[in-house]
Structures are given as C-alpha cells and as structure tokens.
Structure 1
Amino acid sequence: MSSNVIPLTTEDARAHLTSQPFSVLLGARLVSFDADGAVLEVDARPDLLQQNGFLHGGVLAYAADNCLTYAAGTVLGPGVLTGGMTIEYVRPAQGRTLRATARVVHSGRRRAVCRCELEMVADDGSTRLCAVAQGTVLPVAAP
C-alpha cells in the first residue's frame, strides 16, 4: 500500500456496506476483509430468484462488483469505484447463500485489477462455483 493511502479497517468496510441502501435491501454482509481480500455473502431469498428458481444473475453481478471494490480497498484505500467488470456465469446459482470471494491480482497507484469467485453454499455447507468475475477498480477523490 502506498504511503498516501488511508488504510480501510474491517469496521470501516462494514460501515460502508451498511451505508449503501441497495446492499441493505439485498441483505449483503461483509464476512471477511483483510490483506488477502474480501468475502461478501447474500442469502438466497424467494424475492431474489429468477423465473426458473435460480438466484438472479443481477444479484451475482452486484456481489462481484461490491466484493471487487472491497478487495481493491485493501490496497487503494476507501475511495474506490469499479472502472469495469466482466462476469462469466458457469452454472445456475442454487443454494442457501451466495458467497463472493475477491482478491487483488495487480495494483498500482491508479488502479487495481481484482478477481472474484462466486459460489453457492448449500444447506450442508458444501459449495459450488457458479460464476467468476474480473474487474478494474479505480481510486477516486472523496466527495
């Protein structure tokens, strides 16, 4: 982390998440946030499913986007925005809880490239990969 970056604590990161109305609406929670990256979870609820009973792809994209920015926050500090993201859905998202795990792949002063794996956690605790995402996160000045 560069010397002019204000480190983001786990408490700060969780406070940021709870200040986002959309994250609150989805019931997102930051499970882990440290130098290794971030883990974000969203429970699958009936109102988040699509017509075939799978967790909606938009929920997966939300989780990837937010988790990528939290991972980038470990190296860029709290003032970040997603510059771009791609997501590949590899199988339908079925299970109890969506878990997004993101890590920084590369970082510099002007951007961080991060990767995210999205898996569904079943009632028995087993996991199954349902999507992968990669994004570029940019530092921004505080408003």
Structure 2
Amino acid sequence: MLHRIRRRGLVLALATGLLTAQVMVAGASPAAATPQECERGANGFVDIPDTLRGTQAPVGPVSIFGRTATLYYGRIGGVTRGWAHLGGDTLWGDSVWMDWTRDGGRTWIQCGPFEVSSGGQTKTSAAQRTSSDANWRFRACLRWGRHEPAAIKCTDWW
C-alpha cells in the first residue's frame, strides 16, 4: 500500500512538472511593456475593441481550460495590423498579451497583459502593424487566472 502511495506521488510530481514545462515559454526573456506602453498610439500600437476579430494568422490558437488565445490580423485605419484575442469561458483575472519581436524571436516586447474584468468577457491586446520583414513577428499568449504556478500558453511565432 505504501509503495502504491509513493508511486502515485511520484506520478503526480512528474505530471505537474511536465505540465509546468509545457506551459512555460522557452527562450529569451521578454522586455515587458506595460499596457500603457502599448495603448493610444505608443510605440506604434493602436487601441482596438475587445471584441474585434480579423483573419486568423496561420498559427493555431492555444487553449487552457476553455479559454483560447488567437492571433488575428486585419486592416485597421488603413494599415494591416496583428493582435491577440482572448475568448472562450473566461473568468475574472484571465489575461491576454501579444509578444512582438523584431529579431525573429531572440528578444521580444510583451505588450500587456490585458486582464478580463468579468466572466465571459473577450479581451484583445493593442494592435501593431505587420511587416514583410521575416524578423518582424508576433505571437498571442494567455494566462489562466491569477494562479501560481502560472498556467501560460503562447501560439507559435507568425
């Protein structure tokens, strides 16, 4: 019986470690930008409605417990821009942000997080212009609530 309990504990510890490793973002550390550094025209970002959807970028959305982060792009004010969108079964404290890189993902700026203030609400990041430069890329990320350790997932770079 004690052997079974130890094995369950080991399996639980390994599963927790694998889950944590899966939801952590590997690679370089971001330079975090506050929401204010990504709003109202700061650093080339523009504000958009929290319900806005466009064309889904050719990277799959990511989901955690019924919440989904999707990377969209579309014409805003005559300029093609990309943004992150959070939808699904959201609850207070869930958040979304968009990582933006100009060097192919070695370093990036984290624009956000932008937090949901009530259940069922959708949320977007600010939008940034797209570019034909292969190093100019985006990804959408979500965080499930305010839980620690954080459950975070990001789309692939686009």
Structures share fold, TM-score greater than 0.5: no
| Higher-Rg member (1/2) | 2
What TM-score, normalized to structure 1? 0.31
Considering fraction of residues, name the structure with more helix: 1
What TM-score, normalized to structure 2? 0.29
